[in-house]
């Protein structure tokens, strides 16, 4: 029950923030987030699910030929995403859904995308496992762009201190360890690009499979 209550609170916050969401995220986009989206989403292919589609910031970055489904917990966000898709001439199916309880059968998507989502999901490990569940195996891919808890003791401590405030006011946490959560969800990390607090992660599902984890890791600044 607590998880449902937590998710309801997060949903209310994003419903409230939807009209100004792109405005307060603008500086991050100008400082490189847009380029990170473009680079990661160039790897999407086939039938694509975007979990936490938000206002549709990613829609312009999907390669031609992809078939796109987007879900979000916020109806107001979905309306903004629909408007953006119309302006871009981008065909997309949009629906309201929680990443922790996706309404899709196992293994129906070639690619699953989530950007700036798992800082706000109440149970991130379960949400990541759900993404793994709906991706085809063995060739399906998960593409994740997330900010994580800073590595330094000082900045990490500051993130821990501020997270209750950012969670209460804006719905997101500053101290999530998403790289570790991906592994805890039973996913195999194939590639990760690190720059500061940002992670561009490519992973795949490993349902019913044993393997020796292989990882391409690229540091690109602190």
- Residue found by looking up tokens 């699910």 in the block: 49
| The predicted structure's pLDDT at residue 222 | 32
Confidence (pTM)? 0.87
List phi, psi (to 5°) of 112. Answer: -120, 135
| CATH code of the domain containing 137 | 3.40.50.150
Structurally, the chain folds into a number of domains equal to 1
Residue 213, Cα to own-chain centre: how many angstroms? 22
The boundaries of the domain holding residue 172 are: 2-219
Question: pLDDT tens, 158-178?
Answer: 877 877 777 777 767 778 889
Question: pLDDT tens, 20-58?
Answer: 888 878 888 888 999 999 999 999 999 999 999 999 999
Residue 85 CA to residue 91 CA, distance in Å, equals 7
| The predicted structure's pLDDT at residue 143 | 98
Judged against a pLDDT cut of 70, whether residue 210 lies above it is answered with no
Judged against a pLDDT cut of 60, whether residue 2 lies above it is answered with no
| The predicted structure's pLDDT at residue 10 | 78
Q: How sure is the predictor about 3, in pLDDT bands with cuts at 50, 70 and 90?
A: low
């Amino acid at each position: 029950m607590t998880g449902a209550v937590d998710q309801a609170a997060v949903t209310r916050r994003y419903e409230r923030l939807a009209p100004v969401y792109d405005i307060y995220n603008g500086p991050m986009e100008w400082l490189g987030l847009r380029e990170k989206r473009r680079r990661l989403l160039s790897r999407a292919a086939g039938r694509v699910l975007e979990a936490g589609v938000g206002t549709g910031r990613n829609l312009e970055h999907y390669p031609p030929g992809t078939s796109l489904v987007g879900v979000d917990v916020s109806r107001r966000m979905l309306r903004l995403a629909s408007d953006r898709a119309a302006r871009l001439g981008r065909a997309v199916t949009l629906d309201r859904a929680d990443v922790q309880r996706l309404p899709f059968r196992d293994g129906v998507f070639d690619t699953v995308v989530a950007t700036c989502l798992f800082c706000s999901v109440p149970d991130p490990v379960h949400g990541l496992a759900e993404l793994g569940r709906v991706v085809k195996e063995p060739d399906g891919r998960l593409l994740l762009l997330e900010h994580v808890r800073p590595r330094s003791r000082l900045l990490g401590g500051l993130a821990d201190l501020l997270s209750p405030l950012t969670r209460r006011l804006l719905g997101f946490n500053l101290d999530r360890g998403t790289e570790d959560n991906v592994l805890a969800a039973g996913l195999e990390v194939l590639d990760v690009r690190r720059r500061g607090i940002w992670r561009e992660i490519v992973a795949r599902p490993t349902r019913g499979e044993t393997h020796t984890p292989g990882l391409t890791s690229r540091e690109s600044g602190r």
